[in-house]
A and B are shown apart, each in its own frame.
Chain A
Amino acid sequence: MTTGSPGLRPVTFPAARAARGRGAGAEARARRRDGAWPWLFVLPLLTGVVLFYVWPIIQTFYFSFTEWGVFGGSSWTGIDNYVRLVQDPQLYLSLGNTLLYTGIVLLGVPIAVYLASLLNTPGLRFASFYRVLFFLPYIAMPTAIAMVWRIIFNGDFGILNYVLSFAGIDGPYWVSTAGFATVAVAIVGIWSSIGFSMIVLGAGLKNIPTEYYEASELDGASRWRQFRSITVPLLTPSIFFVVIITVIASFQMFDLLFAILGSQNPILPKSMSLVYFFYHAGFVTNERGYAASIAMIIFVIIGLVTLLQFRLQRRWVNVD
């Protein structure tokens, strides 16, 4: 069902607010199909969001134009922070690292789609068991898990390099070499989020009517054909959701990097993610105004990327 684009009517905002509430008059009801109900549905959430999230964003936006003292007190500096930011090589470095990380983690999405469909085959033995196994990483306490992975990635004595040596590959120092560190963290990123993606995709798969599969089988379609022509296209809304969330989460990556590399790791400056760049400015070097400007830039970047995805969505996402 498609509906037209929202809100192009001449009804004004204040009028809508006035009409809010159960006692809305017939007049308001006549103006819109749904009357005041939508606002009732949305308002609790919106109030909380505005209070706890939008207000801090506004504050951050304000402070990005100041030099913000560690314990309060600020002096207006105009766009100085932004000028400095645009010229700061760290910005581009961290953006590059984040893009690399995001790209690798996105590779996990097709894997998740495939695995989810495997998990969904009717009559699969131990389906529940597999489901739990795949979801385990998502449940892990980050602190402990990062430690385990750090040990696995150890250059001289870690399991990963040990296994690689059997294939004749001389494993690198994952955690202490700039490029490889990002890859290592991305691997852990995929590992921990695949379970979640599979769950969401699994829910989406449930919504595909089995009749389609039955009909296509009657027509002699192979499993792969079914996958390509039925599963994937009908799953696109869920895939879209997973992609959006994965991208946003990847852009926000910070804790994992910190935990796996260790806070005193010399290559941290070279493998910084965008959010780590923000954290470093805000809490390590204590330049809070600058950090605020970084936060705003991150906001813009993620916003643009998401917007882009929403635009592209009409090309490939099928919605009933």
Chain B
Amino acid sequence: MHKTTSPGSARRALLGIAGAIGIASLIAGCAGGPAQPTGGADYTPPASDLAAEITYAFWDETQRAAIEANIEGFNEEYPNIAVNLDVTPWEGYWTKVQTQASSDTLPDLFWLNGPNFQLYASNGKVEPITSEVEGDYIDPANYPEGLVDLYNLDGVQYGVPKDFDTIGLWFNKAIFEQAGVEVPTDDWTWDDLSTAANGISEALSSQGIYGVAGGMDGQTTYYNTIFQAGGEVVTDGGKGSGYDTPEAQAGIQFWTDLIASGASPSIQQLTDTPADQWFTSGKVAMYYGGSWARTAVKESSVGAVADVAALPAGEEKAVVIHGVSNVVAANSKNKQAAQALQVYLASEKAQQQQGDLGAVIPAFNGTQQAFADSYPGVNLQVFLDQTAWAKPYPVSKNGGAWGAVETALLPDAFSGAVPVADATKDLATQMTDLLAKE
């Protein structure tokens, strides 16, 4: 059979395409450069009969009910502003928002989180809330301090947190009883944890039960221990890496030791099966988990015997705090309406509603009681108490880049294949290079 595509014709096809580059470059060159953050006009609350249609984008379907309740309250003040809720699943949310930002079709109001915030803010895609703060419509003092700082870039505040989460030491009372070990208290230190975990593992290894489970999720595990050892992850105002310090290394070593002594499943096992699943299946006595695990734990088979304590202290007490913020798009065509919604959602009334409907911990100080009461018998209060010594989730403009290096290098440090000092040194070097490029 003859060939319909000879190499010659295919090559000609490609050359033909290449020949169109000239035109393409002219057109592509008009893609525009990063815009500067616009100061924006001073915010004043719009008239209550303002008519507008705005889009509010977020990713968490489980919070939809609470948000709809908020919108209802908002519409009592502004009946003619129609809010369209655009829920995009987590896996597609960032691709979508990035695409929209590239063509300036961002939703009027949308969620940003710590790791992504700086990218959008530094490229002028987010409207600052300076005028709203000056007009006393939003008061940053009402929200956890470390978290408010997360949404501040170069001295300009772009939003306030709408919720927060911290990390706690979830534990299984039944396993402790079975092993004959004392349950954790809120004053535990690293040594206390280590002793207990080893004790449990030794006693119950025949049942395949471990003392504690770590893993590769920095937010719940090693970021916390690094802070607790007195170290930092990102230093120098976002220019340096804190990994190459004895403190950070101690934070990593903590987990390495636990794995080495058999108190924790191996890193490989934890990759295959995440820590929270070990816990909810009753295979591990303790794990470092977020406040968001509350529902999963409650409905799991260990729901009746679970409880939570504050994270054990290293050199100091510390915990990672993170939360989402509502931000207004800088190029929004309905800026005033969007800002009105932003202000409303940050108000105590709306935040209280969020708390009562239970999906997240609202950020406004004093509205969190409903959360604390939502799991009788379990001391959820520790998640709130720990905000006193909370450190914000480590971020930079392009966190994804050095996050990938962490994922590549740290498992070997945890498993002991590479000495912690070497791995962290390597990590720090690569991370600093990446941070310099931002």
Contact = CB atoms under 8 A, between A and B. Distances in A.
Nearest to A319: B1
A69 B401 contact: no
Which of A6, A54, A62, A69 counts the most B-chain CB atoms under 10 A from its CB? A62
Nearest to A72: B31
B28 A59 contact: yes
Contacts of B404: 269, 280, 284-285
Given A155-B269, A173-B269, A317-B1, A58 B24 contact: yes
A70 B123 CA distance: 9
Contact of A176 (B6, B17, B20, B272): B272
A253 interface: no
B1 A2 contact: yes
A59 B33 CA distance: 17
A57 B268 contact: no
B24 A59 contact: yes
22 contacts: A69-B33, A71-B34, A72-B31, A73-B32, A74-B31, A154-B272, A155-B273, A173-B269, A175-B271, A176-B271, A176-B272, A177-B268, A266-B411, A269-B404, A269-B407, A285-B401, A303-B10, A311-B3, A313-B3, A314-B1, A314-B3, A319-B1
A307 B408 CA distance: 36
B119 interface: yes
B3 A5 contact: yes
Given A266-B411, A284-B404, A54 B17 contact: yes
Contacts of A54: 17
Interface string A284-312: 11110000000000000001000100110
Main SS class of interface, B: helix
Contact of B33 (A57, A61, A73, A176): A73
Interface string B298-335: 00000000000000000000000000000000000000
B400 interface: yes
B398 interface: yes
A175 B32 contact: no
Contacts of A269: 404, 407-408
A72 B407 contact: no
B31 A286 contact: no
A208 B216 CA distance: 56
Interface residues of A, number: 49
B98 A310 contact: no
Interface string B365-407: 0000000000000000000000000000000001011001001
B382 to A, nearest CB: 25
B26 to A, nearest CB: 10
A286 B400 contact: yes
B98 A70 contact: yes
Interface of B: 1-7, 9-10, 17-18, 20-21, 24-25, 28-29, 31-34, 94-95, 98, 101-102, 119, 123, 125, 216-217, 267-269, 271-273, 398, 400-401, 404, 407-408, 410-411
A5 B6 contact: yes
B1 A313 contact: yes
Contact of A156 (B18, B29, B34, B269): B269
Which of B31, B125, B411 counts the most A-chain CB atoms under 10 A from its CB? B31
A307 B398 contact: no
B273 A72 contact: no
Given A264-B217, A268-B407, A286-B400, A73 B34 contact: yes
A265 B95 CA distance: 20
A57 B1 CA distance: 31
B217 A156 contact: no
Contacts of B17: 54, 57-58, 61
Contacts of B411: 266
Given A5-B2, A317-B1, 13 more contacts: A6-B9, A7-B9, A58-B21, A61-B21, A70-B123, A73-B34, A74-B29, A74-B31, A176-B271, A177-B268, A285-B400, A286-B398, A303-B10
Contacts of A3: 2
Contacts of A285: 398, 400-401, 404
Interface string A49-74: 00000100111011100000111111
